[in-house]
Structure 1
Amino acid sequence: MMTAPDLTTPRERIRSGRMRRQAERWSWMFMRFSGAILILLIFTHLFVNLITGDGVSQIDFAFVAGKWADWWWQWADFLMLVLAMLHGGNGMRLLINDYAHRKTTRTVLMGVLGVAVAVVIVLGSLVIWTFDPCPVDADPSLLPSFCATVAA
């Protein structure tokens, strides 16, 4: 009678890099849930930006300023940014675990991945949350229509 191989031996754990089964289960569940939410967010984003109105020709500073003047769009874009980076980072973590066989290589790659994900989330968050839709010295023809009422 054949039995399944024992994947919990120390040799297998070191080679694959996957040592915590419960953490891998949560990682698997996160990928499924975040993927489903990302599909909804991305298709909403594409529909609003490309299909409604004048299509891609409407996307300029005023369009983005008008969207980000609404708190809902800021939160939707922030959620999309964070989920996309964590989802992609988790996928890259799995690839690193599968293909980086040396511990030092795996450690370096995981560190670079963690820094890259954190930097993109921080910089993207700064853009979303500190964006000024009505800059003082901007050309009024480039600003959204609601900026004239704010300045007055």
Structure 2
Amino acid sequence: MARPKRIEPGPGQESVWDYPRPPRVEPVHARVTIELGGRLIAETTRAMRVLETSHPPAYYLPPEAFVEGALVPAAGSTFCEFKGRAAYYDVVGGTAIAPSAGWYYPAPSRGFEAIAGFVSVYPGRMDRCTVDGETVTPQEGDFYGGWITANIVGPFKGSAGTWGW
């Protein structure tokens, strides 16, 4: 499939097509929240985001941002060519359980040390994720876990037919 045409960002917006490859990690000082099972299960102003060409950012929160019991180690792992081996958590809020919906890099590759132990979640498997009060739109598909906000424009990788971008 041919690479799609970049959407020109407006004032205050970023295009995911301007993000680098390999990805870049940067701190986020906005208030980031995650809700599941009708409960606030995580909140921080010390998140990190990973920016990669064609992908909405994935937000990583420090583990202490999560309420006790919200992260339960899950089986399995995956490998990212840039960040290394990821481990998974089942994410729990109230009586809701989202299996393998959170992931982290215990020992990330060089250049990604800033996210060591930080946890990202698939926003589409949560009740709600926010960045500075704005509800996040989940990236399409079930492989990537990008968080789309109004200041991010695409088109975005993830939906059917975009694997080869």
Q: Give me the TM-score of the superposition, normalised by structure 2.
A: 0.19
Length-normalised TM-score, structure 1:
0.20
Task: Pick the structure with more strand per residue.
Answer: 2
* Structure number with bigger Rg: 1
Higher RCO structure (Cα 8 Å, ≥6 apart): 1
